C-alpha cells in the first residue's frame, strides 16, 4: 500500500514498457494531452480516487508518445489503463466521480485480466 499521496510519473516512448514491467502492484496509466480539459480533471481526481488501491500513477502525453497511442489504438482522451504487477489488467471507463472511479477500479481489479488493447 502507498504510504503518501499518489503522484503522477511521466512515461514516454522509450521507457513505457520497461518501467511498467518493473512496477509491482497496481498501477494506473493516464493517457492525456495538455490541451484536454477532461484529462486535467482526471489528473486531479485519480490520486484521491485510487488512494489505497494503486501503488503507482503514470501519465503519457499522447502528443509526445504517438507510437504508444497508436499501439493501444487510443483515439479518445483521456484513457486510463490499469496494470497489475507490470501487466495490463483493464481499461477504466466510468464517470469522472471519485466514488465511481474507486468502485469501478475495485470491480475491474477483482475480475480476471482483460486482453491488452
For the chain, give every domain's residue range.
Answer: 8-110
Residues 18-40 pLDDT 10s: 999 999 999 999 999 999 999 99
Is residue 79 a contact partner of residue 86, using CB atoms and an 8 Å limit? no
What pLDDT does 25 receive?
Answer: 97
**Chain position carrying cell 490520486:** 47
Report whether 74 contacts 36 (CB < 8 A): no
pLDDT digits (tens, 9 = 90+) for 85-114: 999 999 999 999 999 999 999 999 999 999
Q: Which pTM was predicted?
A: 0.94
> What local confidence, expressed as pLDDT, does residue 4 receive?
62
Q: Which CATH superfamily is domain 8-110 in?
A: Glutaredoxin (3.40.30.10)
Strand-pairing partners, residue 30, are: 59, 80
Dump the DSSP string for the chain.
--SS---EEE--TTTHHHHHHT--SEEEEEEE-TT-HHHHHHHHHHHHHTTTT-SEEEEEETTT-HHHHHHTT--SS-EEEEEETTEEEEEE-S-S-HHHHHHHHHHHHHSPPPPP-
**Please, which pLDDT band fits residue 3 given cuts at 50, 70 and 90?**
low
Q: pLDDT per residue over 60-90, tens digit each? A: 999 999 999 999 999 899 999 999 999 999 9
> Over 90: is that where the pLDDT of 117 sits?
no
Per-residue pLDDT, 2: 45
Amino acid at each position: 500500500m502507498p504510504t503518501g499521496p499518489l503522484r503522477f510519473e511521466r512515461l514516454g516512448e522509450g521507457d513505457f514498457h520497461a518501467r511498467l514491467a518493473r512496477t509491482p502492484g497496481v498501477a494506473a496509466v493516464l493517457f492525456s494531452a495538455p490541451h484536454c480539459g477532461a484529462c486535467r480533471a482526471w489528473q486531479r481526481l485519480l490520486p484521491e480516487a485510487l488512494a489505497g488501491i494503486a501503488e503507482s500513477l503514470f501519465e503519457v502525453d499522447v502528443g509526445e508518445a504517438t507510437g504508444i497511442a497508436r499501439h493501444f489504438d487510443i483515439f479518445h482522451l483521456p484513457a486510463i489503463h490499469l496494470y497489475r504487477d507490470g501487466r495490463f489488467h483493464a481499461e477504466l471507463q466510468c464517470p469522472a466521480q471519485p466514488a465511481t472511479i474507486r468502485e469501478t477500479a475495485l470491480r475491474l481489479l477483482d475480475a480476471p485480466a482483460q486482453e491488452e488493447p
